Amino acid sequence: MPNRFRPGEAELPQRETELIARRDAVLGASYRLQYRKPVHFVRGEGMWLYDPDNRAYLDFYNNVPSLGHCHPEVNAAMAEQAARLSANTRYLEPKLVDYAERLVGTFPAEMDRVVFTCTGSESNDLALRIARLVSGNEGVIVTSYAYHGTSAAVAAVSPNLGAAVNLSPTVRMVALPGPSGVPDDQAASFFEAQVRAAITDLQRRGIGVAALLFDSIFSSDGVWIDPPGFIAGAVEAVREAGGLVISDEVQPGFGRTGSHMWGFERHGIVPDLATLGKPMGNGFPIGAVVGRQHPMELFGQTARYSNTFAGNTVGIAAASAVLTVLQRDGILEKVVAVSRRLRTGLELVAAHSPGIRAIRNAGLFFGVDIGSDASSSMERRMLALDLVNAMRDDGVLISTTAANEDALKIRPPLVCEDEHVDKFLVVFEAALRKCTL
């Protein structure tokens, strides 16, 4: 959300006002500040971020530091490796292979190859290159409000970026059953029919199908994740047409859903490629594409992918520490328990509030629809923004999602505990009362 002030709102301290002016004078116009009154942080620890006055903000938004801000074990692993050696993948390095073996070991047996990148955008970019080379086709099918990254190639398959960013002529968008109002028992057939229609159109125009690319938690679409398995028929349709199935795990991967390490597992499918990023290094930029042997090897034999920083020793040290903590400390099981507490609390609030229309989640990724059915789309959007900013003022950070930005996006670090949930619910309920009076 861009920085905006309303009449009557308190002005920022001079320290922040001057910093904003300096940003505006030197940074490109594409930069945006979060919240109407931007926050200035100087340190983080676990679930908390701290401003220069040492005021603590509870972070229920950041899914990049999934093990919490400044995790000491991850930081120590990076520092030790940086002090010893920082190098690329063209030299023999056992820790690279050790981590690669551990990582693919968390995937279904069919997915046994990995190529490292620096970001989720690079991962999706590479996955599209692989799919297009292997299939011999160009067409990509995505959901109607998907976001898959920042490079030119993935921006062209990201409807979320808006009308100013042109979609590729080879892209076809398909609607999700949830926001289309389709009942659960018809969701699978609805989605499959959408994908088959897109396939037919791509083939008729001589483009063909390279891939179905989907975020397995459908985060930018508003976290419309149910019913589990509704994508299975569409997956088979794409494969019948010669395309590959790419599961974008940048948001749901590494245990965000709690019950599974990877979001596609919730749907009972095995993709051809999975793309990783964000939480992989708990803040250090590292990503990957994990996939089946045939497409990965065919691409490697006939095309080049050389990325200087991808898989560098410091990134691998960070990623290895993250995976160790996830597995050793039973993080996924904790996510299931804490997300259940959060869902129950939100449902109790919704039971006596006209300001909540629906609650959706998989593990610790929540989408909460704001406003009543009788309110306009603009009224719902403004209420959601008002709530986000009211909570920021009370020291809790969340954001918005969905095509109309009228759903709250709630995704705390995976180390969230019961006490953090309870504080969040108190602040949320107070903000809801304040904004709906």
pLDDT digits (tens, 9 = 90+) for 403-414: 888 999 999 999
Is the pLDDT assigned to residue 240 strictly greater than 60?
Answer: yes
CA dihedral (106, 108, 110, 114) positive or negative = negative
pLDDT score recorded for residue 437: 64
Is the pLDDT assigned to residue 113 strictly greater than 80?
Answer: yes
Is the pLDDT assigned to residue 392 strictly greater than 90?
Answer: yes
The answer to whether residues 50 and 134 belong to one domain is: no
Among 100-109, 189-198, 273-282, 345-354, the least confident range: 345-354
Distance CA 252, CA 264 (A): 9
Is the pLDDT assigned to residue 379 strictly greater than 50?
Answer: yes
Question: What is the percent of the chain where pLDDT is above 70?
Answer: 97
Q: What is the mean pLDDT of residues 17-29?
A: 89
Q: Which of the four pLDDT bands, split at 50, 70 and 90, describes residue 6?
A: very low
Q: What is the mean pLDDT of residues 419-431?
A: 97
Q: Which of the four pLDDT bands, split at 50, 70 and 90, describes residue 359?
A: very high
The answer to whether residues 85 and 64 belong to one domain is: no
Is the pLDDT assigned to residue 363 strictly greater than 90?
Answer: yes
Phi and psi based region of residue 136 (left: phi greater than 0; alpha: psi -120 to 50; beta: remaining): left
Tell me the pTM: 0.94
Range of the domain at 359: 39-70+330-436
Q: Which of the four pLDDT bands, split at 50, 70 and 90, describes residue 7?
A: very low
End position of a domain, from candidates 313, 328, 343: 328
> For residue 421, which of 351, 375, 364, 355 has the smallest C-alpha distance?
364
- What CATH number has the domain bearing residue 232? 3.40.640.10
pLDDT score recorded for residue 2: 38
The answer to whether residues 154 and 285 belong to one domain is: yes
In a domain, 26, yes or no: no
Contact 201, 337 (CB under 8 A): no
pLDDT score recorded for residue 10: 52
pLDDT, mean over the chain: 94
Q: Sheet harboring 396-397: ordered strands across?
A: 43-45, 48-50, 56-59, 396-397
Contact 149, 246 (CB under 8 A): no
